[in-house]
Amino acid sequence: NKVLNERLRFDFSAICPDLMTNGIRQMNQDDPWIPIPQGYLKNWWYTEDTYWRYAPYYNTSIDNYQCDEINILGQYDFIFKLPPVPYAGTWEFRICAPEVQHFGMFQPYIGTDRNNLSPIGLPLDFRLPSSNPTIGWKADTNDLDENREIDKDMRNHGYMKNIMHDGHTSGSAVSLPLRAVQGDYIRLRKILWSGYMSPDETYYVRFKSVLENTRTCCMLDFFEIVPKSVYNGATEEDPW
């Protein structure tokens, strides 16, 4: 039962088995962007105006979970399929949210009918700085109680700090966890949705750009599907 009640975290590339089987994931090459055409990925659907690019970032020290990321540009409108949950109940869906000025803004959707997904709240703006009052990020201090208050305030705004699990490496050890990263390329976690999910249903998520500027980027690193027993249980959720 403990395994089934744990937080589920997926690198976005993990729902792209086509990248792994064709030797693209973790490819060490000079070109940081690999364009992926329509129809190549079986768990993704996107329009002709969507430019889907994979960045392996293999053997680099970058502030990403498992190094790689997906960059989507253009007047993008795309859908991806979520992996199944292990049991029926209330789950929370989160994504890594990079707060970078030249990134984009999109309307998220979720549902079980790929052709008729329901919008989730207001559009998500990746251009906002992490210090914006609507986010509430502040750097960790040496006071654990103060850090918990910062976490609570951010969660009230629908955000969380990045994970402790991965980060900059020094040899084989992590020297700076992702949670501690600051500066222009900070990544957070955005709580997009919470609701009932069943292992007998297939769920899809859609992101549609709401900007006319086609040069802004939707960066995808990882996502989490979290049972209510973890994020609203008797024990506080760990930062890892």
Q: Residue 31: its pLDDT value, please?
A: 62
Q: Residue 148: its pLDDT value, please?
A: 92
pLDDT, tens digit, 9 for 90 and up, residues 201-225: 999 999 999 999 999 999 999 999 9
Tokens describing residue 147: 């850090």
Give CA angle at 53 (13, 101), nearest 5°: 100
Residue 157, class by beta-carbon neighbours within 10 Å (0-12 exposed, 13-18 middle, 19+ buried)? middle
Q: Residue 184: its pLDDT value, please?
A: 59
Rounded distance, CA 117 to CA 109, Å?
Answer: 6
CB 97 within 8 A of CB 190: yes
Q: Residue 152: its pLDDT value, please?
A: 94
Rounded distance, CA 139 to CA 141, Å?
Answer: 6
Residue whose structure tokens are 């600051």: 182
- Cα dihedral sign, 135-141-144-146: negative
CB 4 within 8 A of CB 86: yes
Domains annotated on the chain, with CATH: 3-231 (2.60.120)
Whether the pLDDT of residue 200 is over 90: the answer is: yes
| Confidence grade of residue 65 (pLDDT, cut at 50, 70, 90) | low
CB 213 within 8 A of CB 127: no
pLDDT, tens digit, 9 for 90 and up, residues 93-105: 999 988 777 789 9
Mean pLDDT (the chain, rounded): 87
Where would I find the H helices in the chain?
Answer: 17-21, 144-156, 228-231
Average pLDDT over residues 110-133: 94
Q: Residue 85: its pLDDT value, please?
A: 96
Q: Which residues of 213-226 are buried (b: 16+ CB within 10 A; e: fewer)?
A: eeebbbbbbbbbbb
Q: Residue 130: its pLDDT value, please?
A: 85
Lowest mean pLDDT among 55-69, 165-179, 187-201: 165-179
Whether the pLDDT of residue 193 is over 80: the answer is: yes
pLDDT-above-90 percentage for the chain: 56
